[in-house]
Amino acid sequence: MENKFILALDQGTTSSRAALFDHAGNIISVAQKEFQQIYPHPGWVEHDPQEIWSTQAGVAAEAVTKMGLNGSSIAAIGITNQRETTIVWERATGRPIYNAIVWQDRRTAAYCDELKSRGLEKIVRAKTGLPIDSYFSATKINWILNNVAGARERAERGELAFGTVDTWLIWNFTQHELHVTDVTNASRTMLFNIHTLDWDEELLAAMDIPRNMLPQVRSSSEIVGHTKSTVFATPIPIAGIAGDQHAALFGQMCTRAGMAKNTYGTGCFLVMNTGNKPVESKNNLITTIAWKIGDQVTYALEGSIFIGGAVVQWLRDGIGMIKSASEIEQLARTVPDSDGVFMVPAFAGLGAPHWNPHARGSIFGVTRGTTSAHLARAALEAIALQSYDVLKAMEADLGEKIAELRVDGGAVTNDLLMQFQADLLGVDVVRPKIIETTALGAAYLAGLAVNYWASIDEIQGQWKQDQRFSPSMDAAQVSNYKKGWQRAVTASIAWADSND
């Protein structure tokens, strides 16, 4: 095993990545490819499932072959993925019947309102830990069944399969043999009972979804099967599966109750380990499964922010204010503050703790003196301010303050953002040496299943701190930021409400 490697497949919202890890938890090879974002209508977001598969298979092969290795050098594959994104395909051919409907997609917001009007909110929350929202997979499945010709009848006959992205990748890697998911991805569908660990018949009936479409649910760390695709000539165990935020929590080694991490990716996802019992949120957070290893289920509280790093992509691609995402910190540093400008990046509605699918992006406080640098700074501050809202809700649910916040994801290389986050939260923000903790978590889960690593205790020692950001901003200044932000969020929601 010492001479072998773990291959982590990290299928994200904007790109597919693959990373090879050695026994010390170091990345020795990485490959990445972006893919097309499809926006058929305002608020709709889709991906081509075949492009998801082809880019992921391509980077998997590239990461291995550019090191002069082959499938026999790989001890196991761990898969982590964008969650909630919904794919329905034909069992006979493996062909998708519609594009993947992405987690950011809001087309089912009206249907969610209808489910709430039927009094289902409490039932859904009690069984799944989730609010009723178009973010999750269930209403996306329902939409496909109702809007693709013949889909509902075909589903009733058992001809169609549903999967989140992990399921779709495994289906293809095993040449249509395995239709499986893990508890973390299942827990994001709004159809999975996180207490019984099974698909819930009452919810399936309420949302008119045939059970025969759904994959078998496995743990997050076990050998579910072996690859059979042409990507690798040698069969490789598929041994780890976890949704991206669950994998990141594990990769950050937040293995004790009360430990928390925030991932700054396309969205921001603040997750706290709550131990072996689910904590019901009173503050609009999500109760979810962190992972299942062996017979032990670990639960978590999560706050999902739909637009994090995506606001920087918008400044780059949408309005051409910067040429690359890395330019934003330099631009933002040319001014001491945002000069009273607040940006609410509700491009896909507001996530936790507001859960308002109708809210839209807004910028407040603009004057004749506002420059691109002020907008850049306001965009970065918005990422941290949204995270502040979530952490405060989390602390209210637990009745205690967190000791520190571990951070990961592409945006954590931005020191300005990390320092501002520490200032807002009033606790240390800690960046690890390996910020690709999503892929690392998937690798750890797979490696544990094949005894590449003997135990969690063994890998605990591999987590290393890169930099610690401690609060330093004047308390009055912090208070002004928080007050301004609350005004901006309230105004953004009011604008959406007035459009009814």
Q: Binding site for ATP: what residues are annotated?
A: 13-15, 266, 309, 313, 410
Angular region, 429: left φ>0, alpha ψ -120 to 50, beta rest? beta
SS3 assignment, position 250: helix
Handedness of CA 218, 222, 225, 227 (dihedral sign): positive
DSSP string, 429-441: EEEES---HHHHH
The binding site for sn-glycerol 3-phosphate comprises: 13, 83-84, 135, 244
Is cis: bond before 353, omega within 30 of 0? yes
Helix 244-251 vs helix 437-449: angle between axes, to the nearest 10 degrees?
80
- The structure tokens 């165990």 sit at 237
Q: How far apart are CA 371 and CA 340, in angstroms?
A: 12
Binding site for ADP: what residues are annotated?
Answer: 13, 17, 266, 309, 410, 414
In this structure, what DSSP letter does residue 266 have?
A: S
What the block records as the tokens of 490 is 């309230």
Is residue 240 helix, strand or coil?
A: strand
Q: How far apart are CA 421 and CA 382, in angstroms?
A: 10
* CA pair distance 126, 202, nearest whole angstrom: 12
Residues making up the annotated binding site for glycerol are 83-84, 135, 244-245
- 3-state DSSP of 369-403: CCCHHHHHHHHHHHHHHHHHHHHHHHHHHHCCCCC
Rounded-to-integer distance, Cα 378 and Cα 364, Å: 10
Q: Cα–Cα distance between 7 and 150 in angstroms, integer? A: 39
Q: How far is CA 470 from CA 60, 315, 423, in A?
A: 38, 28, 7
DSSP-derived 3-state class of residue 330? helix
Torsion of CA 233, 234, 237, 242, to 10 degrees: -30
Using an 8 Å Cβ cutoff, are 446 and 6 in contact?
yes
Count of all residues that appear for the chain in the document: 500
DSSP-based three-state secondary structure for 181? strand
- Binding-site sequence positions: 13-15, 17, 83-84, 135, 244-245, 266, 309, 313, 410, 414
Report residue 196: phi and psi, to 5°. -90, -15
Q: How far apart are CA 374 and CA 370, in angstroms?
A: 6
